[in-house]
């Protein structure tokens, strides 16, 4: 076992760059060769909702990339039996189950940890994993606030661990093609990117505080968040709509489209100003305790004047654009505009109504054939980066994930304060605005504290 881990840690990380170049292999092809001989042991933390997709993806790679899904971890033990059964049926191996993440991280056999926890656990779990010598795949948004994202970058670099953020569009061939088209000047000089999250959601109701179910380790579930009494309406999935644990739909579905927008604009920097406004509309506020807005408009401006515009509509609405986009992006350039809806894109020249360029493969079924039935390509890319030992192998390294997650975080701060904000990206501070600065981080509940020095 020591030989195997030494091989991964020393041989791959220490000298893979020269070996790959000398043999003429790409990082991906080299990763496939190593994957055929050296097993990667994976643990998943958070197995309820998005965690199911992680389970399916890692199980699918059992043979093709010699992945062993060794451990399932969740603070709610009610999911262990069903999820373990899924893993056994797909791989023939029964995984270990554990509610205590720290015990998973203490396992020397685990090479990588796949996080699908609530947002408020992303950063601390990732940092702990890096400190324990594990590589990390973490869902979007990368963190719960901007300060945490910076600490994650520092942990990745200090402990030489790869962190892939789950912006899966970065590994979808059609989306990659569309972005290249934009960067190559396909619609001229881009001056604005628009993102859309039209996702109607009904009220989830209210409930009285109560005793946590016996299967739930509630203190651990709260983790870094302030202590409060258990309430079933603030738990599973509904945590998205409360500031202590989530970031609303602008910070839930939104980060995917913020990421595509920033990527298409080719902005590897923070915006210099952000304004966001909205509210909770169309539901009876006396029958729902939601804190985050279901309707929100954001305008972020970069130093050169380019605009990133985003809209969240959580009630009934029409779609937009020729593709009928509800979840997607539109880019506006000097010579035309381009639409991206999932895996499909079309470009229009000036005022013409017929697209002059676009994706050749259209439809989720065909995309599945390209990326795997569980869209495993982003996970495969993560494995390639582990084996190459190079952050640049990642399609969405933590640095990229941080910049894309920061924009919706800035939007939410502007929304909560009710005013436009000026941001100094080089310092990750607001300009002469100590009130806004306090919202770049949070107060952490002991012992779930992210230290200044990771």
Q: Where are the alpha helices (DSSP H) in 207-363?
A: 218-222, 254-265
Is 30 a residue whose pLDDT tops 60? Answer: no
Does 141 sit behind a cis peptide bond, omega within 30 degrees of 0 on the bond before it? yes
Mean pLDDT within 238-263: 98
List the structure tokens of 269: 């920097």
Residue 37: the pLDDT is: 53
Is 119 a residue whose pLDDT tops 70? Answer: yes
Q: Are 374 and 53 in contact (CB under 8 A)?
A: yes
Mean pLDDT within 135-153: 98
pTM over 0.85: yes
Mean pLDDT within 350-362: 90
Least confident of 20-34, 227-241, 380-394: 20-34
List the structure tokens of 260: 């595509």
Convert the pLDDT of each residue in 295-305 to its tens digit: 999 999 999 99
Convert the pLDDT of each residue in 382-416 to its tens digit: 999 999 999 999 999 999 999 999 999 999 999 99
Which residue is listed with tokens 């016996």? 214
Residue 35: the pLDDT is: 40
- Look up the CATH architecture of domain 173-359+400-436: 2-Layer Sandwich (3.30)
CA dist., res. 398 & res. 389, Å (int): 14
CA dist., res. 30 & res. 35, Å (int): 8
Mean pLDDT within 331-349: 98
327: β partners: 197
The DSSP code sequence of 60-126 is HTTTTS-EEEEEEE-SBGGGHHHHHHHHHHHHS-PPEEES-HHHHHT-TT--EEEE-S-GGGHHHHH
Residue 31: the pLDDT is: 39
3-state SS, residue 420:
coil
Residue 369: the pLDDT is: 34
**Domain 2-170+378-396 fold:** Rossmann fold (3.40.50)
> What is the overall mean pLDDT for the chain?
91
B/e letters for 331-345, b = 16+ CB within 10 Å, e = fewer, are bbbeebbbbbbbbbb
Is 11 a residue whose pLDDT tops 60? Answer: no
Residue 362: the pLDDT is: 52
Convert the pLDDT of each residue in 154-199 to its tens digit: 999 999 999 999 999 999 999 999 999 999 999 999 999 999 999 9
Stronger pLDDT, 368 or 80, i.e. the higher one: 80
Mean pLDDT within 117-125: 98
DSSP element (H, E) containing 307: strand 307-313
Is 19 a residue whose pLDDT tops 50? Answer: no
Domain-wise residue ranges, the chain:
2-170+378-396, 173-359+400-436
Is 153 a residue whose pLDDT tops 70? Answer: yes
Residue 375: the pLDDT is: 78
Which residue is listed with tokens 């601390």? 124
Mean pLDDT within 323-333: 97
Q: Are 310 and 328 in contact (CB under 8 A)?
A: no
Residue 368: the pLDDT is: 36
61 CB neighbour count, 10 Å cutoff? 23
pLDDT above 90 covers a percentage of the chain that reads 88
Convert the pLDDT of each residue in 53-106 to its tens digit: 999 999 999 999 999 999 999 999 999 999 999 999 999 999 999 999 999 999
The DSSP code sequence of 339-399 is EEETTEEEEEETT-SS-SEE-SS-SHHHHHHHHTTTTTHHHHHHHHHHHHT-GGG-SSBHH
Q: Which phi and psi (to 5°) does residue 71 adopt?
A: -140, 140
Does 105 sit behind a cis peptide bond, omega within 30 degrees of 0 on the bond before it? no
355 CB neighbour count, 10 Å cutoff? 18
Q: Are 74 and 80 in contact (CB under 8 A)?
A: yes
Is 33 a residue whose pLDDT tops 60? Answer: no
From residue 192, give the alpha-carbon distance in Å to each of 331, 336, 338, 436: 6, 11, 11, 26
Q: Where are the alpha helices (DSSP H) in 132-238?
A: 146-159, 173-183, 218-222
Stronger pLDDT, 28 or 398, i.e. the higher one: 398
Is 12 a residue whose pLDDT tops 60? Answer: no
């Amino acid at each position: 076992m020591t030989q195997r881990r030494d091989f991964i840690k020393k041989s791959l990380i220490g000298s893979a760059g020269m070996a790959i170049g000398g043999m003429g292999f790409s990082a991906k092809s080299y990763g496939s060769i190593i994957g055929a001989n050296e097993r990667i042991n994976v643990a998943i933390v958070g197995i309820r909702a998005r965690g199911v997709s992680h389970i399916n993806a890692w199980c699918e790679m059992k043979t093709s990339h010699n992945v062993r899904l060794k451990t399932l971890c969740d603070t709610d033990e009610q999911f262990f039996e069903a999820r373990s059964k899924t893993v056994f049926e797909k791989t023939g191996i029964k995984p270990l189950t554990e509610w205590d993440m720290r015990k998973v991280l203490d396992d020397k056999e685990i090479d990588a940890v796949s996080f699908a926890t609530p947002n408020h656990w992303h950063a601390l779990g990732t940092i702990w994993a890096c400190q324990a010598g594990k590589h990390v795949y973490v869902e979007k948004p990368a963190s719960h606030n901007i300060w945490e994202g910076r600490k994650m970058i520092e942990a990745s670099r200090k402990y030489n661990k790869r962190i892939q953020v789950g912006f899966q569009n970065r590994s979808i061939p059609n989306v990659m093609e569309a972005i290249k088209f934009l960067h190559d000047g396909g619609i001229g000089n881009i001056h604005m990117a628009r993102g859309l999250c039209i996702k109607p959601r009904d009220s989830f109701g209210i409930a009285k505080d109560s005793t946590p179910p016996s299967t739930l380790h509630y203190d651990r579930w709260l983790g870094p968040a302030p202590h409060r009494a258990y309430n079933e309406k603030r738990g599973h999935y509904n945590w998205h709509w409360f500031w202590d644990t989530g970031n609303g739909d602008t910070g839930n579905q939104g980060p995917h489209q913020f990421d595509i927008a920033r990527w298409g604009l080719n902005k590897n920097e923070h915006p210099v100003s952000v304004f966001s406004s909205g509210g909770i509309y169309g539901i009876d506020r006396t029958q729902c305790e939601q804190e985050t807005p279901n309707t929100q408009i954001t305008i972020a401006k970069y130093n050169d004047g380019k605009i990133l515009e985003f809209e969240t509509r959580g009630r009934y609405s029409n779609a937009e654009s020729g593709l009928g986009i509800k979840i997607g992006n539109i880019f506006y350039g000097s010579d035309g505009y381009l639409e991206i809806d999932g895996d499909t894109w079309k470009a229009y020249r000036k005022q013409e109504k017929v697209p002059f360029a676009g994706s050749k493969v259209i439809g989720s079924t065909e995309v599945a054939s390209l990326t795997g039935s569980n869209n495993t390509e982003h996970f495969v890319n993560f494995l390639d980066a582990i084996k190459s030992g190079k952050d640049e192998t990642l399609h969405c390294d933590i640095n990229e994930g941080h910049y894309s997650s920061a924009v919706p975080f800035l939007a939410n701060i502007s929304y909560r304060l009710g005013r436009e904000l000026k941001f100094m990206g080089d310092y990750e501070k607001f300009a002469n605005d100590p009130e806004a600065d306090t919202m770049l981080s949070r107060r952490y509940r002991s012992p779930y504290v992210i230290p200044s020095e990771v």
